[in-house]
Chain A
Amino acid sequence: MSNTATGGRKIELWVGVLVLGGLLSLGFLAFEVGNFDNARVRDGYRVYADFQNIGGLTLRAPVAVAGVRIGQVTGITLSRDSFNARVELTIARHYDNLPVDSSASIFTKGLLGAQYVGLEPGSDEEFLGDGDEIEFTNSSVVLEQLIGELLFSKAEEAAE
């Protein structure tokens, strides 16, 4: 490609700057603004957990053990016969030593923050694998229900 065709070195140089700037921006956006760790856990195994109430849990919510993010929520469906929420958790492949008697709970980050699934490791010798189900689950705490129960019990106390 000769210089005369593009109209000189200056133009080529500036277009190079433009394209390079674009690529650097893409890198900056992908690694600094977004976080690749945050992207879908592609290489992971799936486990399932049934909850009576998932509150405000959403897709892509984190799954954490001891506060460390190890995976994310990849599916939420309603079980047809039990009317429980069936949550699909995808956990990164290298956390493959979660005992089968681990329990799952839905917690809230801070008072009004987003909800996430916290796993409490059990003590069994066997580990969870692809397609397994977590049997011990605690539903999310629904604040309105809690307040309602409190008021109800107070009213009963007062009536006695």
Chain B
Amino acid sequence: MNALAAIGRFTLGGVYHLGRCGVFLCTMLAVISHAWRRFALVVRQLYFAGVMTLLITLVAGLFVGMVLSLQGYYTLVNYGGESALGLLVALSLTRELGPVLAAVLFTGRAGSAITAEIGLMKATDQLAAMEMMATDPVARVVVPRFVAGVLAVPILTLLFNVVGVLGGYYVGTVQLGVDSGVYWASMQNGVDVFEDIGNGIIKSFVFGFVVSWIMVFEGCDTEPTAEGISRATTRTVVVGSLSVLGLDYILTALMYGGIS
């Protein structure tokens, strides 16, 4: 009987959490126009979420591009296909790895920080104090962070892709001896601006939206204790990263997997 109740409690808890998450999104979107009215706040958050994540994104992109080139080369060279190395690197990055890894890195670096920040504001009653001063904390605190996140992820993704392609170029041509003209030519012949790069950008916007939503929601939904903040931060990273990976599969299936 107790086990049955536990299952029920668990399910209800999950549904309740999901419901609050949805309601939260609606309340946030209702005051989203504040982001444009006070754009300076968004710029400030873009600095903390975007610029601060820049270094880790660039370094990660460089190494991912380099290792893709290295691994791709050893597979392709068996079939005499090393001339397609540029295409392999560019397509892997623009279609999948760029959007996914940039979003996951953003979740780990900026998402966790913002969840902790908002959580601590809630725990120390700063949000309640704002409300007492007739300032809507959602419009003043949450919306700028959310909008900055949605904008930062695609920008970081683009930079990740570029650095990755250049890293792959360095390893492929300088170290492995693929002709540099062939590297660019195979890339330019095979990469479609709208199909590959455009879809990658759409993906990164979706990821940015979901990750930013999760990070501000978990922050506001924090149990106002030290333990609650740590749990909320963990949840942002775990749920955020998993949502990105899961959504990536769905988006890829919708964009490229359809039978035309």
Are B191 and A40 in contact (CB-based, < 8 A)? no
Which residues of chain B have a CB within 8 Å of any CB of chain A?
A: 38-41, 43-44, 46-47, 50-51, 54, 90, 94, 152, 154-156, 158-159, 161-162, 165, 184, 187-189, 191-194, 196-197, 201, 260
Residue in chain A with minimal CB distance to B191: A34
A–B Cβ pairs within 8 angstroms, 12 of them? A5-B44, A6-B43, A6-B44, A11-B51, A22-B154, A29-B161, A33-B90, A33-B191, A36-B193, A38-B191, A38-B192, A40-B194
> Which of A18, A33, A34, A35 is most buried by chain B, counting CB atoms within 10 A of its CB?
A33
Known interface pairs A1-B40, A22-B156; 5 further A-B residue pairs with C-beta atoms within 8 A, sorted by A's residue number: A5-B40, A15-B47, A18-B46, A18-B50, A19-B155
Binding site secondary structure of chain B: helix
| A65 in contact (CB, < 8 A) | no
Determine the chain B residues whose CB is within 8 A of the CB of A29 once the complex forms.
Answer: 94, 158, 161-162, 165, 197
Are A34 and B158 in contact (CB-based, < 8 A)? no
Residue in chain A with minimal CB distance to B80: A112
CA distance A36 to B188 in the complex (A): 9
State whether A38 and B188 are in contact (beta carbons under 8 Å apart), knowing that A14-B51, A30-B197, A33-B165 are contacts in the complex.
yes
Binding site secondary structure of chain A: helix
Which residues of chain A have a CB within 8 Å of any CB of chain B?
A: 1-2, 5-7, 11-12, 14-15, 17-19, 21-22, 25-26, 28-30, 32-36, 38-40, 59-60
Determine the chain B residues whose CB is within 8 A of the CB of A30 once the complex forms.
Answer: 193, 197
Residue in chain A with minimal CB distance to B39: A1
Partner of A15, one of B43, B158, B162: B43
Determine the chain B residues whose CB is within 8 A of the CB of A5 once the complex forms.
Answer: 38, 40-41, 44
CA distance A21 to B58 in the complex (A): 11
Are A11 and B161 in contact (CB-based, < 8 A)? no
CA distance A59 to B192 in the complex (A): 12
Partner of A32, one of B41, B43, B184, B194: B184
Are B197 and A15 in contact (CB-based, < 8 A)? no
A-B residue pair count with CB separations less than 8 angstroms = 92
Determine the chain A residues whose CB is within 8 A of the CB of B165 once the complex forms.
Answer: 29, 33
Determine the chain A residues whose CB is within 8 A of the CB of B54 once the complex forms.
Answer: 18, 21
State whether A34 and B188 are in contact (beta carbons under 8 Å apart), knowing that A19-B155, A39-B194, A40-B194 are contacts in the complex.
yes
Determine the chain A residues whose CB is within 8 A of the CB of B41 once the complex forms.
Answer: 5-6
Determine the chain A residues whose CB is within 8 A of the CB of B152 once the complex forms.
Answer: 18
State whether A25 and B162 are in contact (beta carbons under 8 Å apart), knowing that A33-B90, A34-B188, A35-B189 are contacts in the complex.
yes
Are B46 and A15 in contact (CB-based, < 8 A)? yes
CA distance A65 to B144 in the complex (A): 54
Are A22 and B158 in contact (CB-based, < 8 A)? yes
Residue in chain B with minimal CB distance to A62: B189
Are A28 and B162 in contact (CB-based, < 8 A)? yes
Min Cβ gap B13→A in Å is 39
CA distance A35 to B184 in the complex (A): 10
Determine the chain A residues whose CB is within 8 A of the CB of B260 once the complex forms.
Answer: 59
Are A12 and B154 in contact (CB-based, < 8 A)? no
Residue in chain B with minimal CB distance to A16: B43
